[in-house]
Structure 1
Amino acid sequence: MRTEGREPPPRPTLEAYARDTGLKWAAFVAAQYPILRSEADDVVSTVLLEAYQAGWDTIVMPDQWVRCRLKQRALDRIRQLRRVDLVPLPEPHEETLAWADAAAEGDPAQQVAGAEDERLLRELLRHLPLEQRENVYLELAGFSAKERGQALGWSETNARVALHRSRNALQKLLNERADYRVQVPGVKESTA
């Protein structure tokens, strides 16, 4: 597609960017780093303050810049927590995402099943390449394909294709487990 003669869409102000994407980035941090669930907003605020101090208008690719800085600041905070032993690192079975909680509200049996599903999902996600895993976390945090593509430095189409491939890979991993059968959303059921 030719873009000659077209100007890129105007960049939102930092305030508008924070308002439109702040909660999504916080959900991304909470999903990617469960130990920081209660501090995700603080990590996002720190990064947006850094963007202001660096000169928001001078940042060439803001979504990628924010994602990289979020990862750096989250890892810094995790190192700090480990150093002073403020928070013990959770076991994978203790991690619970908000979207799993929302799906299992009310019924205790569903809550137990939801926690087990989440543990399994986290275990399986570890088998995906880092960028595909981040793409899945961004999807779970509510980012659109276009936003995921911008954050990862991909086109919107590549973000969609990578998500589809991630889902297929997760379905294949699930099918290899004899003790667990579930259908991944967005993947056609195979007869094999």
Structure 2
Amino acid sequence: MVRARMSPRVRQLALIGLLLAGIGLVVIGIIDPGAPAVADVQPPAQPGTAKLAPHLFEGPDGPETLPLDGAFIANVWLQGCQDCMPSFEAWKRLYEAGEIPKSLPIVNIAYGEVDPAWAERYALHDTLLVDSDGSKLVKPQAITTFTTLVVAADRKIVWRGLPRDPGYLDQLKSALAALPKD
């Protein structure tokens, strides 16, 4: 049997590559040890196909569920998320300017912990719930940044968008107008 020999330079580059890969895995584990592996992240269901289960969430006065009767708007977010800040600011501007339609209940679902004063500062105080470990909504819907959902009375998600995106308000209003009338 003939064995091929690696040149010292190729061996050195291979070892450096393995070392860098190992360091990268350690850094990822240190930065967010609870983060799911890439294979664990599922793409969100297409609007109109995913249904929200009536999970119990943590509320200020004890366990609460999502609204059981009728459609609603849900904002899902992580307090202090740097990637989310443009959406927090956009939501606050739209809400305070009276641009956000109030024809449906608005539910705000924080991932992790939440400070009610912080939520108030960004106009996210309506029906404030917490998905502390992300298992009820955040992970199943693969939500990674501040996301608004429009949920129909049959609990199907019919639209999802980011407040920071151009056209957000028009798309939100269109999704609300397209909801079946009860």
Q: Which has the higher contact order (CA 8 A, sep 6+)?
A: 2
**More helix by percentage:** 1
**More strand by percentage:** 2
Larger Rg over CA atoms: 2
